[in-house]
Chain A
Amino acid sequence: AQSVTQPDIHITVSEGASLELRCNYSYGATPYLFWYVQSPGQGLQLLLKYFSGDTLVQGIKGFEAEFKRSQSSFNLRKPSVHWSDAAEYFCAVERDMRFGAGTRLTVKP
């Protein structure tokens, strides 16, 4: 069955530490892949997307993501997390814009 999975429901990192949020997809062909961020009480904002070409994509707010076809993964990374990055992060695939369950990021001072 087609699906997108975010294995981590909640992650806590210290401010200044690096971050990696995991996303795995299960589709017949490589779909378009997205990461969105939802700050408390807000809508979703597009961070970055991948559909072809360079497997390392850069996004807004210092985020990047790497597409690995062999692992069916599209993990989101940031080298140094800021307190303002605390939010809910969603991976999504565009066959039918299906979202993962989300990963809540908490940032410790």
Chain B
Amino acid sequence: DTAVSQTPKYLVTQMGNDKSIKCEQNLGHDTMYWYKQDSKKFLKIMFSYNNKELIINETVPNRFSPKSPDKAHLNLHINSLELGDSAVYFCASSQDVEGYGYTFGSGTRLTVV
């Protein structure tokens, strides 16, 4: 009964491939997010999405795209993978209430070779 679950936990792939990371939350939260954590542990928000709007961090390449089939899922699709995409990607969710705080998944370690 994990609150925010991501799959896969590890993903190793070659440059140029297209891959997806899945995220599901069973908390009934309104909003979901994707974060990228680099090798220095720096966390950068990539997307936030609720049923009203998608907010994209303008620094995220358009090779990255979120897909939300329903309120409980926010998948991350990455096209034409590059070496620099190697990182840990975290999904998170929250209620659309200020000060609520986020619940994070356990992360997906992506390695591009």
Contact = CB atoms under 8 A, between A and B. Distances in A.
A92 B42 CA distance: 12
Contacts of B103: 46
Q: For chain A, what secondary structure do more than half of its interface residues adopt (helix, strand, loop), or is it mixed? A: strand
B43 interface: yes
A44 B99 contact: no
B106 A42 contact: yes
B104 A43 contact: yes
A85 interface: no
B45 A42 contact: no
Contacts of A104: 41
Which range contains the number of B residues in contact with the other chain? 10 to 19
Interface residues of A, number: 22
Interface of B: 4, 33, 40-43, 45, 90, 92, 98-99, 101-107
Nearest to B44: A99
B89 to A, nearest CB: 11
A102 B92 CA distance: 18
Contacts of B102: 44, 46, 97
A45 to B, nearest CB: 7
A97 B31 CA distance: 13
B43 A46 contact: no
